[in-house]
Amino acid sequence: MPVVTLAENGQLAIPDDLLKDLGIKPGDPVLLEKTSGGILLSRHAPPSPGAVQSRLHESINRKNLETPIQFIKGVGPKLAETLGKKGIATVEDALYLLPNRYEDRRQVVPIARLCPGVTSVFSGEVITADVVSTKGGRRFFEVVVRDASGTISFKWFNFNPAFLKKTWKEGRRGIFTGLVSQFGLQREVHHPDAEWLAEGETVASVMARDPVSFGRVVPVYPLTEGLHQKTLRKVMKGVVDQYASCVESALPLEVAGRQGLLPLSDALRRVHFPDSDADPRGLEEGKDPANRTLVFDEFFFLELGLAMKKRGVTLESGIAFTVSHTYTKPLLKLLPFSLTGAQRRVLAEIKEDMMAPHPMHRLVQGDVGCGKTLVALMAALVAVENGYQVAIMAPTEILAEQHYLNIHRWCDELGVSVTLVTSSLKGKAKKDALERVAGGEAQIVIGTHAVIQDKVEFHRLGLGIVDEQHRFGVLQRGLLRKKGENPDILVMTATPIPRTLAMTVFGDLSLSVIDELPPGRTPIETRICFESRRKQVYGIIRDEVTKGHQAYVIYPLVEESEKSDLKAATQMAEHLANDIFPELRLGILHGRMKPEEKEAVMRSFKAREIDILVATTVIEVGIDVPNATVMVIEHAERFGLSQLHQLRGRVGRGSEKSRCILMAGERLSEDAEKRLRVMESTTDGFRIAEADLEIRGPGDFLGTRQAGIPDFRVANILRDGRILEEARQEAFAVAEVDPELRLPRHDKLRTELARRWGGRLELAGIA
């Protein structure tokens, strides 16, 4: 038995005979690969003829998948255009246009056995067909059909009588498909599909003639206008039969095996045209192994990309800060309160990252009012203690200004210099500010996206902090990084992102959660009010102000109609000031005001010189006035839930009981009311976010496209959360073993990853 020995010089000596067994000659290139049990040594073989062959095969398959859809049999220019509008330009796009439900057409059911609630296929003869008028004045077209077992009635409510009469002739025989419903004792089908039998033809022969639509579980595709289910189904059958086999799985075999996945091509075939033994409900609900395979595949590549990005960052060298407490200790002494446990824990996580010799890339998530600003300031002071500059970037001028006011107040006492850089800074003031930044006198720089513009140069940027991350894309984060040499990056968000979504959107960041509010806050009471109760609402405002508190009245500002909304807001402010609260002091705040004006208004509101602040949503994030105890939100139904939650977080910041009143239009839809009721029922940001996500879908929820995350083709992030977690684990494990996907067995993986992520993996050095 040959033995591998470790020489004194630290080299590993491998005897010749062992090398021979491995097929390695001295001088051959070898590969070292980390495995769970140690290191794997293997020969780095030149590609075999077989491998060359299979590469060729792969590239032919790829070319095939890129075939334009108009080359498919049955797709004319018009259909190609309609499909194009649905985002289907190639064969591959078509393969990933999945049915959203199925019809079980495996059997022809006797009419007597038709079950309400089930879409079924049955056959029969037309007995009667005519327009029926009810006593109530409604008109519909009714057909009665009979087979040997019984009768059933068909109904049309929007119809062209001449056309229907011509088609539905007494005595005509056909095969019908439709959803059976039951009204009292009567079973009926609305707007059924019909396939007519010619003279002498049998049901069996017609069904045999169209094996795509009968005798099987039939897919129902999401339709675009001007596209018939039957036409699309035929096209899809052609596409699937001819091209599904070109789709190759790129997942490592052991992953596919462990996860019980089907080959990708089989999964595609199965979701489009299920086998005769398939369970259509299972497919609809995404529970079939075919669904799992497609979803896993999609998530795996997403997560692998994120893993690469994350590794890419952690492998770089960065600043190793030391924690000297020069400023942080004194700050804690200055504060009139002590940090919450959650703040302390998150701060420790941040400090650990900052001390490590790699760039920090951390997301701090915490509900409104949990005290993120302070955590950010503490981190900033650590960087300042080390002689570095800090940039704090906020999404709006008013927020940047508020951060500036807050932070600058503490920093003045500590002797740390703070500079504000926003795009409204002009002339000499701007020049001076930029000089202070470039010269390094500005230790903490606070601003809007103006901070990442070309003209701004830092002397020595060590830490970048991005507040309210969801407003910024990955791109901006990247630009901020480039302002220094691998600075640490801290991202803060108040949007409570459901875990599954956070994993996709911020999957390349480490996560800290501040899950505790400072003590002494009383929960906010939320109520929906309709116009009819407006007087009472004004009464509540007056009562609160009489008690010495302050109030917000918020107007929505929708981009398309910004001007008219602005007018509505200003008019309302005037109305409130002149007619409703002539004895109270009103202020107005909106996005069109100059920053100085806005700041002046905010300042007077904070100084209690204004009782009621009428504002558009510029107030949305971060504004902090603990004495404000009422918020009235006009047209509440126009806001997203997460946005309402953010707005509401402006009250309930002190120890007094606070209220939020959601004014709703009288013609509130049922859905809209359901949404608003969520706000009444909870103040838990996570639950609200989940409800919001469910209602709006992930794309809208965070603007994922802007965040640089590819759209999902098959996955449903709410339904498939479990699969996401599994895919993430597998993907991160691959990245752990082979951080740059250099191993020959990961060739396919690497190509596929680059293809799916396009140019978005630069950071990871992979594409």
Q: List residues near Mg ion by CB under 5 A.
A: 372, 622
For residue 391 the two structure tokens come to 């940039």
Helices (H), 490-624: 499-505, 534-546, 562-575, 595-606
Contact stretch for ligand ADP (CB under 6 A) within 254-262, 332-340, 581-589, 732-740: 332-340
Q: Measured from the CB atom, is 110 or 654 closer to ligand ADP?
A: 654
| Residue 704's binding partner out of ligand ADP, Mg ion, none, with CB under 5 to 8 Å set by partner kind | none
Q: How far is the CB of 357 from Mg ion (least distance, A)?
A: 30
Pick between residue 77 and residue 519 the one whose CB is nearest to ligand ADP.
Answer: 519
CB of 589: closest distance to ligand ADP in angstroms?
Answer: 18
Q: Which is nearer to ligand ADP, 368 or 392 (CB)?
A: 368
Question: Does residue number 337 form part of the binding site for ligand ADP (CB under 6 A)?
Answer: yes
- Distance between CA 238 and CA 76 in Å, rounded? 14
Cα distance between residue 627 and residue 620, in whole Å: 17
**Contacting residue, 305, 622, 708, 739, with ligand ADP by CB under 6 A:** 622
Separation CA 439–CA 428 (nearest Å): 16
Task: Choose between 416 and 494: whose C-beta lies nearer to ligand ADP.
Answer: 494
- Comparing CB distances to Mg ion, the nearer of 187 and 477 is 477
Shortest distance, position 622 Cβ to Mg ion, whole Å: 4
User: For ligand ADP, what does the binding mask look like between residues 351 and 370, x meaning CB under 6 A?
Assistant: ---------------x-xxx
Checking 337-343 for CB contacts under 8 A at 24+ apart, the result is 337/518, 339/371, 339/374, 340/370, 340/371, 340/514, 340/516, 340/517, 340/518, 340/519, 341/516, 342/366, 342/370, 342/513, 342/514, 342/515, 342/516, 343/370, 343/371, 343/374, 343/375, 343/514, 343/516
Instruction: Give the DSSP H/E element, type plus range, for residue 22.
Output: helix 16-22
**64, 492, 651 from 688: Cα distances, Å:** 45, 19, 17
Label the pairing between strands 193-196 and 173-183. Answer: antiparallel
Q: Which of 361, 372, 449, 648 binds ligand ADP (CB under 6 A)?
A: 372
The interface with ligand ADP within residues 55-94 (CB under 6 A) comprises none
In the complex, minimum distance from the CB of residue 264 to Mg ion, in angstroms, rounded to a whole number:
44
* 396 binding ligand ADP? (CB under 6 A): no
Q: Which does 464 bind (CB under 5 to 8 A by kind): ligand ADP, Mg ion, none?
A: none
Nearer to ligand ADP, 370 or 702 (CB): 370
The span from the first CA to the last CA of the chain, in angstroms, equals: 44
Nearest to 368 by CA among 631, 55, 54: 631
Closest separation between CB of residue 510 and ligand ADP, Å?
19
SS (H, E, C) 136-179: CCCEEEEEEEECCCCEEEEEECCCCHHHHHHHCCCCCEEEEEEE
Give me the count of residues in the chain.
767
392 is an interface residue for ligand ADP by CB under 6 A: no
Say if CB 378 and CB 372 are below 8 A apart.
no
Q: Does the footprint of ligand ADP cover residue 721 (CB under 6 A)?
A: no
From the list 282, 518, 699, 765, which residue makes contact with ligand ADP (rule: CB under 6 A)?
518
Least distance (Å) from ligand ADP to the CB of residue 335? 8
Closest contact distance (angstroms) between CB of 634 and Mg ion is 24
Could you say which residues in the range 653-682 bind ligand ADP, by CB under 6 A? 653
Does position 374 interact with ligand ADP (CB under 6 A)? The reply is: yes
Pairing of strands 173-183, 151-156: unpaired
Burial 290-302 (b: 16+ CB within 10 A, else e): bbbbbbbbbbbbb
Look at residue 78 and give its three-state secondary structure: helix
Secondary structure string (H, E, C) spanning 380-435: HHHHHHCCCEEEEECCCHHHHHHHHHHHHHHHHHHCCCEEEECCCCCHHHHHHHHH
Q: Which of 661, 722, 691 is nearest to 539 (CA)?
A: 661
246 binds ligand ADP (CB under 6 A): no
Report the residue number, 622 or 652, with the smaller CB distance to Mg ion. Answer: 622
When asked if residue 340 is in the footprint of ligand ADP (CB under 6 A), the reply is yes
Residue number with CB closer to ligand ADP (375 or 509): 375
What token pair was written down for 590?
């909106």
- Contact call for residues 66 and 45 (beta carbons, < 8 A): no
Pick between residue 339 and residue 405 the one whose CB is nearest to ligand ADP.
Answer: 339
How many positions of this chain bind ligand ADP (CB under 6 A)?
17
Residue at shortest CB range from Mg ion = 622
Q: In this chain, which stretch among 80-88, 141-149, 262-270, 371-379 interacts with ligand ADP, using CB under 6 A? A: 371-379
The residue from 418, 494, 632, 724 that contacts ligand ADP (CB under 6 A) is 494
Query: Taking the complex as a whole, how short is the minimal distance between the CB of residue 624 and Mg ion, in angstroms?
Result: 8
* Nearer residue to ligand ADP within complex by CB, 111 or 368: 368
274 binds ligand ADP (CB under 6 A): no
Smaller CB separation from Mg ion, 124 or 622:
622
Which of ligand ADP, Mg ion, none is residue 518 near (CB under 5 to 8 Å by kind)?
Answer: ligand ADP
Contact 215, 273 (CB under 8 A): no
The CA distance from 639 to 648, in Å, is 12
* Closest by Cα among 634, 516, 651, 657 to 565: 634
395 in contact with ligand ADP (CB under 6 A): no
- 648 makes contact, choosing from Mg ion, ligand ADP, none, with CB < 5 to 8 Å by partner type, with none
Q: Which is nearer to ligand ADP, 280 or 649 (CB)?
A: 649
The reply on whether position 652 binds ligand ADP by CB under 6 A is no
Which of ligand ADP, Mg ion, none interacts with 163 (beta carbon under 5 to 8 A by kind)? none
Residue 339 interacts with ligand ADP (CB under 6 A): yes or no: yes
Q: Please name which of 677, 602, 601, 612 lies closest in space to residue 644, comparing C-alpha atoms.
A: 677
Smallest gap from residue 375 Cβ to ligand ADP (A): 8
Sites of contact with ligand ADP (CB under 6 A):
337, 339-340, 343, 366, 368-374, 494, 518, 622, 624, 653
